Amino acid sequence: MTKQITLTIDEKQVTVPQGTLVVDAAKKIGIDIPVFCYHPKMEPVGMCRMCLVEVGRPVIDRTTGQAVLEADGTPKVQFGPKLETACTLPVSEGMVVVGMSDKVKAARKDVVEFLLTSHPLDCPVCDKGGECPLQNLTMAHGVGESRFNYDEKMHLAKHVPLGELIFLDRERCIQCGRCVRFQAEVVDDPVIGFYQRGRAIQIATFSEPGFDSYFSGNTTDICPVGALTTADFRFGARPWEMRATASICAQCPVGCNITFNIRREAKSDGEIVIKRTMPRQNEQVNETWICDKGRFAYHFTEGKERLTAPLIRRGDDLTPVSWDEAIEFVAQALRDAGSDLLTLASGRLSNEDLFNLRSLSDAFNGKTALYTHMAGGDLTAQVGVGQGTNFADLGAGSVILVVASDLEEEAPIWWLRVKQAAERGATLIVANPRPTKTDRYASQKIRYAYGNEAATVLAMINALSAKRPELPGKVQATAEIKNAAETIKNAENVIALFGSEGLGLEGSAALAQACANLLLVTNHTGRANNGLIGVWPRANEQGAWDMGLRPAADLKAALAAAKMVYVAAADPLGDDPALAATLGEVPFMVVQELYLTETAKLADVVLPALPFTEREGSFTSGERRVQRFYPAVLPRPQARPDYAITGEIARKAGVDAETDSAARVMGRIAASLPDYAGIHYRRLAQVQEQWPIVGRGDLYYGGTGYENKQGLGVQLAPAAQQGQAPALTWPQVAEIAVPEGSLLAVPVTVLYDQGITVSTSPLLQTRIPQPYLTVCPAEAQRLNAEAGDLVQVSLGEQAVKVTLRVDENIPAGVALAPRSLGLPIFAPAAIQVRVAQKATV
Amino acid sequence: MTEIKQYVLLRHRDVPGLDQLDVYRQEGGFAAFQQAVTAMQPGQVTDVVKASGLRGRGGAGFPTGMKWSFIDNNNWPHYVVANADESEPGTFKDREIMEKNPFQFLEGLALCCYAVQANAAYIYLRGEFWQQAHFLDAKIAEMEAAGLLGEHLFGTEYSLRIYTHLGAGAYICGEETALLESLEGKLGQPRLRPPFPPSFGLYGKPTIVNNVETLANLPLILEKGAAWYRTYGTDKSPGVKIFSLSGKVNKPGNYELPLGTTFRQLIFQHGGGLPEGRQIKAIMPAGASSSLIVATEQALDTPMDYESVPSVGAQLGSASVIVIDDSVNVAWLINKTMHFFKHESCGKCTPCRDGTYWMMHLAERIAGGEASWADVELLREVAGQVKGKCFCALGEFSIEAVLSSIERFPADFEQITHKEA
């Protein structure tokens, strides 16, 4: 237990843990000590001098060590001659802090006046105007009139692009360094810094492309002036014109809490539109941060090409029809197909959508298939992280194992949370075939060959226990593996994250099982801060598993066997052109989508659905936290929520289903799924006090991120926490054979790919790479190719041309194929590569 | 007490060729270092320095031995950095030591390293001192060849390497924590203190940063003893000091004198007084960072030591004494100092960054005869706003000349400002 310290701030007593800074102690009792450079999530620097306060300390008699008392018996307090910065000053016993004296008030006035001498005061056209700490603190502490000669103001560039996403206004910058420190300290992308000195000091980027970081947008939230703005929002709207609506990011399994700022505007034909995405505080999920994908990719919901009416195939054409006609048509097809129905859906949908799809399919004894390249969601339901898990609680004594994941690419905020845990002293073990950014914080690194993911984890178990699963001959229990196994065995807490680096469905299933077994044999399941997390490709993939969907081992065969296929939020044909013949042969296909995808073009019926921004629903995050999102903008006419479409079809087909509200569907989920028992929308909307306090009147403190008033969600208890001990089953681990002259192509995830949720954002388009394949220098030499050459990649009968990249960190014999970037590689596969066109120099 | 019979620091003035290793060794050079390494505990070296009362010559006057005793012995390795950034306008003492008496400085540095058990030392020189850096590199190489640096010195387990490093032209890098940042390859800005360098210094390791002149004192203190050293100077400011004399004097230059020598002795006895027809008006005893002392008879008779100079409203600092004569309007002078500080502010803290910029513009207008008395009042107020709020001493020192000039020489400002606002 940390020692508690009692001090007095502005005549109020407060008791806080030792090491607390005066500025934070004051905030805890509602006293504002203004700051610009200080931020509660970063180390203090004491640069801006706005937080100067008078500080007195009890006088201690040096001979006795006792406090000297005044005549009235109170401790004698000695004030220092100079003001001190409350942001750099840790509390001490008996300290007296005065923030209301004339001397302190004068100091605040002085500092504000200094800052304004170098500030353009262009508030009327500044994006920050209305939510600007400098503006607010000037109103509170500044003088009304400037004594600085206007002609002596410095004039600097006002539209400096620090890359495509973030703009810098050099005149507005007050050199607080929050952005520089955020990039260096918090996210370890030190790609911006101070340049020059004195009044000429300015922010500069020194990466190519500029400001190359997945977290850059956060700097605009913590910038205390309008110096940093996003290319997405700048000059887009005034803060007071916008309303805030709560949502959950739909991009990855982290489940970041976000706020959409919306307004009705003339330039959008009088529609209510989203103007920007902001972080919404959830200290157990995303703290006050979001990644740039989550911030900028919402545009996928608002494309002009969105489907506007149900379509029915009439000959070669898809013709708009009424909802009644479409639903009747599908219901009839359902009755005809009976148990030959295959429902294919992805984790892009909400729990309610997936539940209704599953219920409908079950009523006809149909089959369901989860559209994914990962397995193991059944295991995370059993031995997933326990209720009460919070990465923020992990430190010394805890172990985080990351296997087969380039975590920053797959789930950026988890990468950040894992990094922070490692910085607090948690042991990070990274097992991956090639180095990733996660390695920087790893205390143990294990390298294995692609294909040996599960075997490597099983080798850890072998190193510990008498149970000896069969392993491929190549995998040896190396010193690193034994060391990792011992570390895991002896740890107080262990969280294992498994990703999809180099894995297809089969490999993923084996890896998930191996990780689950490791946690089981080392007794790291069934309690908080222990268990398994899948780094899923989609936001609600865990929810999809929980709703009972499972991936099809052989999707092509499943499609070929069905008489009717009901596809929701998936585009198998767009992802894999090789499925064209199979899908073309499906007797009846329904596609429920936002856009007319490649798959939808082949459908018999196309049903226009609503994106998460236009409706209610819930997602279950990778940490199995059920979280609610709310409608942000009005739904497009004619389109409907997925759960409602499916529900209407079900009713028409004679199956009982909820159609009216997501909340009522959740009622059914809670009633039929034991893990979800007790979950209801009111409970998901509950909040509690969080630290640090953000998003209130004191924007100077935590930035413009939003306070969470709409729900922190509920974390589910895995089966292991409910007293059910899953039986160990040992996965079969097969080796992948690669013919002579071929390369082993392995799929890897990159954050910015050509998926519809990224490519439709004009801003992120600039960061999406051209399709490429990466090999090591030796393989490039063997191919007689150089980086930049166009190469032809042959995979079975398919051939695709992509650009070659060369990276010395990749093992020989392997080619990295990024997912959703032009290469239809979904599992490790042998490919042939030859140069198609040399790069022009 | 105004004369020294033999130089302590500027010994090259007594001994020709002292910058040659053989000459330096003939004069007893490196005997102290060898004695320390072979026959003394590190703590004993520190004790001698403590007893000598030597205080840091970079400007702050902090007791050197006490600084060494703060080094954190639970965190290794230790480093020693010689501050050869010599950037205070009017200061040119370290340069003469390094150019003419390099081995005494290097031996002092080596002694400091042994006392705190550092095996690596860096000499951080201002960028303009590249010739001196090359010169020192050659001298360091000679020492290595002679077995005075390197592994297993004098047959003991102790080893030491010395490296030179050039700064990139920033006054702030004379401030010890900014110097360390710069030495680490970062932007030269001061660090938050505490922690202080003896616990968290170069690369986060315990580090002693000492000025060149401070270090140059050490060989003779070790050789002749603390009591000998205390025969110079005053009780609280013992020893000798090099005063860099400049401004309107007949014989500007470096003068090594006991601490406690009066301004009058320095300026008139040693410096030959002012040119004919000029009267002394003011003294800046610590370069641009100084308050202006009104050159009264009483001020001239004030001893130059760390305790006495404050009695006439200034600090001894690095003892770069600039003499200002009656032909100078001090408004011109503060225009110069404000341009200097505006140019050299690192930009880290608000009052210094924006305050020096503002004050420079005001001072420029005042000196250019384009200002009213209200601007002088404003300048004083702005300086007052800077005072006590800065991150480091640079900002705090930037206002000394401004405030003291307006207070002590109001007539100069009245003379060149309009009466109307």
Residues A54-79, mean pLDDT to the nearest whole number: 92
Q: For residue A148, which residues of chain B lie inside 8 Å, CB to CB?
A: 358
Q: Write a three-state SS string for A720-776.
A: HHHCCCCCCCCCCCCCCCCCCCCEEEEEECCCCCCCHHHHCCHHHHCCCCCCEEEEC
pLDDT above 70 for A294? yes
Cβ contact, residue pair A111, B389, below 8 Å: yes
Q: How far is B127 from chain A (nearest CA, A)?
A: 16
- Give start-end residues of each CATH 3.40.50.740 domain in chain A: 311-372+549-699+711-715
Which candidate in A48, A114, A180 is best for mutational testing of the B interface (most B CBs within 10 A)? A114
Q: How far is B381 from chain A (nearest CA, A)?
A: 10
CB proximity B342 to A under 8 Å: yes
- Please check whether residues B44 and B103 belong to one and the same domain: yes
Whether B98 maps to a domain, the answer reads yes
Instruction: Name the closest residue on chain A to residue B390, using Cα atoms.
Output: A49
Residues A213-234, mean pLDDT to the nearest whole number: 97
Q: Which of the four pLDDT bands, split at 50, 70 and 90, describes residue A840? A: confident
Crossing angle of helices A453-464 and A505-521, rounded to 10°: 20
pLDDT tens sequence across A596-652: 999 999 999 999 999 999 999 999 999 999 999 999 999 999 999 999 999 999 999
Of B279, B304, B325, the domain-final residue:
B325
Distance CA A429, CA A394 (A): 14
Q: How far is A291 from chain B (nearest CA, A)?
A: 28
- Give start-end residues of each CATH 3.30.70.20 domain in chain A: 113-230
Element (H, E) at A57: strand A52-58
Q: Which residues contact B171 (CB under 8 A, 6 or more apart)?
A: B87, B88, B340, B344, B394
pLDDT tens sequence across A27-37: 999 999 999 99
Query: Measured between alpha carbons, how far is residue A466 from residues A42, A187, A455, A476, A823 in Å?
Result: 47, 42, 16, 16, 43
b/e map B330-369, b = 16+ CB within 10 Å = bbebbbebbbbbbebbbbbbbbbbbbbbbbbbbbbbbbee
Lookup: tokens for A602: 């082949």
- Nearest Cβ partner for A197 among B170, B349, B390: B170
Whether B3 maps to a domain, the answer reads no
Q: How far is A62 from chain B (nearest CA, A)?
A: 20
- Please check whether residues B272 and B187 belong to one and the same domain: no
- Please check whether residues B31 and B165 belong to one and the same domain: yes
Residues A704-731, mean pLDDT to the nearest whole number: 92
Of B205, B229, B253, the domain-final residue:
B229
Q: For residue B188, which residues of chain A lie inside 8 Å, CB to CB?
A: 197
The architecture that CATH gives domain A377-535 is: 3-Layer(aba) Sandwich (3.40)
CATH code for the domain of B269:
3.10.20.600
Which candidate in A117, A143, A155, A195 is best for mutational testing of the B interface (most B CBs within 10 A)? A117
Name residue, tokens 């807490």: A493
Whether B6 maps to a domain, the answer reads no
pLDDT above 60 for B2? no
Q: Which of the four pLDDT bands, split at 50, 70 and 90, describes residue B352? A: very high
Cβ contact, residue pair A115, B391, below 8 Å: no
Distance CA A202, CA A763 (A): 25
CATH code for the domain of B64:
3.40.50.11540
Cβ contact, residue pair B345, A197, below 8 Å: yes
pLDDT above 50 for A478? yes
What is A743-837's CATH number? 2.40.40.20
Q: Which of the four pLDDT bands, split at 50, 70 and 90, describes residue A456? A: very high
CB B2 within 8 A of CB B265: yes
- Please check whether residues B85 and B121 belong to one and the same domain: yes
- Please check whether residues B75 and B162 belong to one and the same domain: yes
A311-372+549-699+711-715 fold = Rossmann fold (3.40.50)
Distance CA A361, CA A291 (A): 36
Interface predicted TM-score (ipTM): 0.95
pLDDT above 60 for B1? no
- Please check whether residues B137 and B246 belong to one and the same domain: no
Residue B57: φ, ψ to 5°: -95, 5
Q: Which of the four pLDDT bands, split at 50, 70 and 90, describes residue A408? A: very high
CB proximity B389 to A under 8 Å: yes
pLDDT tens sequence across A159-169: 999 999 999 99
Distance CA B255, CA B241 (A): 8
Burial tier of A663 (Cβ tally within 10 Å: 0-12, 13-18, 19+): middle
Cβ contact, residue pair B350, A47, below 8 Å: yes
Helices within A435-525 (DSSP H only): 453-464, 479-490, 505-521
Residue A257 is given by DSSP the state E
Cβ contact, residue pair B344, A52, below 8 Å: no
Q: Give the class (CATH, top level) of A4-100.
A: alpha beta
pLDDT above 90 for A379? yes
Whether B1 maps to a domain, the answer reads no
CB B191 within 8 A of CB B177: yes
- Please check whether residues B52 and B190 belong to one and the same domain: yes
Cβ contact, residue pair B347, A147, below 8 Å: no
Q: Which residues contact B285 (CB under 8 A, 6 or more apart)?
A: B263, B293, B304, B309, B314, B315, B316, B317, B319, B320, B321, B322
- Give start-end residues of each CATH 2.40.40.20 domain in chain A: 743-837
Number of domains in chain B: 3
**Three-state DSSP class for residue A354:** helix
Q: Residues for chain A: how many in total?
A: 841
Q: Which residues contact A150 (CB under 8 A, 6 or more apart)?
A: none
Of residues A362, A379, A359, A358, the one with CA closest to residue A370: A358
Q: For residue B390, which residues of chain A lie inside 8 Å, CB to CB?
A: 49
Residues A203-211, mean pLDDT to the nearest whole number: 95
pLDDT above 90 for A481? yes
Cβ contact, residue pair A48, B349, below 8 Å: yes
Element (H, E) at A374: none
Q: Write a three-state SS string for chain B.
A: CCCCCCCCCCHHHCCCCCCCHHHHHHCCCCHHHHHHHHHCCHHHHHHHHHHHCCECCCCCCCEHHHHHHCCCCCCCCEEEEEEECCCCCCCCHHHHHHHHCHHHHHHHHHHHHHHHCEEEEEEEECHHHHHHHHHHHHHHHHHHHCCCCECCHHHCCCCEEEEEEECCCCHHHHCHHHHHHHHCCCCCCCCCCCCCCCCCCHHHCCEEEEEHHHHHCHHHHHHHCHHHHCCCECCCCECEEEEEEEECCCCCEEEEEECCCEHHHHHHHHCCCCCCCCCEEEEECEHHHCCCEECCHHHHCCECCCCCHHHHCCCCCCCEEEEEECCCCHHHHHHHHHHHHHHHCCCCCHHHHHHHHHHHHHHHHHHCCCCEHHHHHHHHHHHHHHCCCCCCHHHHHCCHHHHHHHHHCHHHHHHHCECCC
Q: Write a three-state SS string for A780-840.
A: HHHCCCCCCCEEEEEECCEEEEEEEEECCCCCCCEEEEECCCCCCCCCCEEEEEEEEECCC
CB proximity B344 to A under 8 Å: yes
Whether B291 maps to a domain, the answer reads yes
**Three-state DSSP class for residue A15:** strand
Which candidate in A110, A113, A115, A153 is best for mutational testing of the B interface (most B CBs within 10 A)? A110
- Note the pLDDT of residue A735: 76
Q: How many whole angstroms from its chain centre is CA A405?
A: 15
Residues A222-249, mean pLDDT to the nearest whole number: 97
- Please check whether residues B24 and B127 belong to one and the same domain: yes
- Before A739, cis peptide (omega within 30)? no
Please give the mean pLDDT across all residues of chain A.
Answer: 95
- Note the pLDDT of residue A737: 84
Distance CA A335, CA A521 (A): 48
Please give the mean pLDDT across all residues of chain B.
Answer: 96
Distance CA A177, CA A34 (A): 16
Residues A84-94, mean pLDDT to the nearest whole number: 97
- Nearest Cβ partner for B347 among A49, A107, A175: A175
Residues A811-838, mean pLDDT to the nearest whole number: 94
Q: How far is A713 from chain B (nearest CA, A)?
A: 40
Residues B342-351, mean pLDDT to the nearest whole number: 97
Q: How many whole angstroms from its chain centre is CA A698?
A: 26
Q: Which residues of chain A have a Cβ shorter than 8 Å from any chain B Cβ?
A: 44-50, 52, 81-83, 88, 107, 110-111, 113-115, 117-118, 147-149, 152, 154, 174-175, 193-194, 196-201
- Please check whether residues B173 and B91 belong to one and the same domain: yes
Distance CA A497, CA A531 (A): 9
- Please check whether residues B281 and B217 belong to one and the same domain: no
Query: Measured between alpha carbons, how far is residue B397 from residues B281, B315, B400 in Å?
Result: 21, 10, 5
Instruction: Name the closest residue on chain B to residue A195, using Cα atoms.
Output: B187
- Nearest Cβ partner for A197 among B346, B350, B391: B346
CB A181 within 8 A of CB A193: no
CB A406 within 8 A of CB A285: no
Q: Is the pTM for the entire model greater than 0.90?
A: yes
Q: How far is B341 from chain A (nearest CA, A)?
A: 9
CB proximity B348 to A under 8 Å: yes
Whether B235 maps to a domain, the answer reads no
- Please check whether residues B172 and B303 belong to one and the same domain: no
Amino acid at B110: A
pLDDT above 80 for A692? yes
Q: Which of the four pLDDT bands, split at 50, 70 and 90, describes residue A841? A: low
Whether B396 maps to a domain, the answer reads yes
Residue B372: φ, ψ to 5°: -105, 175
| Residues facing B244 on adjacent strands | B254, B320
pLDDT above 90 for A185? yes
What is A113-230's CATH number? 3.30.70.20
- Note the pLDDT of residue B68: 98
pLDDT tens sequence across A104-146: 999 999 999 999 998 999 999 999 999 999 999 999 999 888 8
Residue A640: φ, ψ to 5°: -135, 160
pLDDT above 60 for A49? yes
Cβ contact, residue pair B342, A175, below 8 Å: no
∠ at Cα A693 (A44, A184), nearest 5°? 35
- Please check whether residues B174 and B250 belong to one and the same domain: no
CB A296 within 8 A of CB A306: no
Instruction: Name the closest residue on chain A to residue B395, using Cα atoms.
Output: A198
**Three-state DSSP class for residue A368:** strand
- Give start-end residues of each CATH 3.40.228.10 domain in chain A: 377-535
Whole domain around residue B161: which residue ranges? 11-229
Whether B236 maps to a domain, the answer reads no
Of B259, B291, B325, the domain-final residue:
B325
Q: For residue B350, which residues of chain A lie inside 8 Å, CB to CB?
A: 47-50, 111, 114-115, 174-175
Element (H, E) at A412: helix A412-423
Which candidate in A49, A92, A118, A155 is best for mutational testing of the B interface (most B CBs within 10 A)? A49
Q: Tell which B residues from 162 to 201 touch A, by Cβ distance under 8 Å.
A: 170, 172, 187-189, 192
Distance CA B175, CA B398 (A): 14
Of residues A628, A538, A534, the one with CA closest to residue A250: A538
CATH code for the domain of B340:
1.20.1440.230
